[in-house]
Structure 1
Amino acid sequence: MARLLTAQETEVLVDYSMFAMLSGSGGDPLAEERDVAAIGPGGIGFFSAANDHTATVRLECWDGEPPAGGSSGETVTGTVTIAPPPGVVFVGIGTGFSREVSTPFSGPCRAEVVCTGRDEAARLYNEEHELFFEDVERWLVRLWPEEHRNQ
């Protein structure tokens, strides 16, 4: 059974309805916009349901594939490569925001991104015309080393 190695929660400033997690491996994770998230070798692009607010992100690092059912919400999976020294950086697009988070491993990793609160964030932004709200949209990012199988 997989074991949780680290978990860290941080607030991220969302601008232009997006933010990113850069893994130091090059490439622009925001280059290809998706409904929820785009996962690629260079990191993860997060596409929010609202503009100009603060989202909460929980980054979990596991030693293997975590158990299913970690959280309900819209889910995207893929592979990301974390460059040494191990760590990622969460960045805002036009805000100047950045926050470094250490990871216990580098190299190819599987990633699972789960977002909750999107409907409420969209409602606040589009119907209530609220800006700068906090902790409505929540993101869970789970990373674990990719297993290499002999072919």
Structure 2
Amino acid sequence: MSTEEESAGTPKLAVMISIYHVVIFVLSGTCVLSASETNGLLSSHLTLVYVLAFGAIGGALNASRYVVIAVRHGAYDNRRFLWQTLTPIHGSILAGIGFVVIQGGIVALTPGIDNPKTYKYFLMGVSLSEVRLKPPPLGGQIYL
């Protein structure tokens, strides 16, 4: 195989990072599906589990989107390894902070919530969209 053919393929680090993101999707999804109120978790703890899992999913979606776009355009940069691995963790942390802020009443959403499930779904949605940490542009040709 020539050097030209090797450079045309997907970088090994990009493949490894993609596998890491898939593992996060699977683990977070499993966490959400297996957590239930019958496991002895209090409602607020269960909601926190959902929020942290959805924050990790949002971070992994954001980082994996960059990997796919960069590989597609032949501009994958190994120096972004830390950003790609830590973004799901940052997403989970930011979602947890958002949960504490809302749960603690620092941000009042409504005067009262009648249905706790509606509140839980709202927090999961906010957690999923919490992460918007974009890496620097790739030479101006790729827009994320």
TM-score by length of 1: 0.25
Normalised TM-score (structure 2): 0.25
Say which one has the larger Rg.
2
Q: If each structure's helix is expressed as a fraction of its own residues, which one has the higher value?
A: 2
* Greater strand proportion: 1
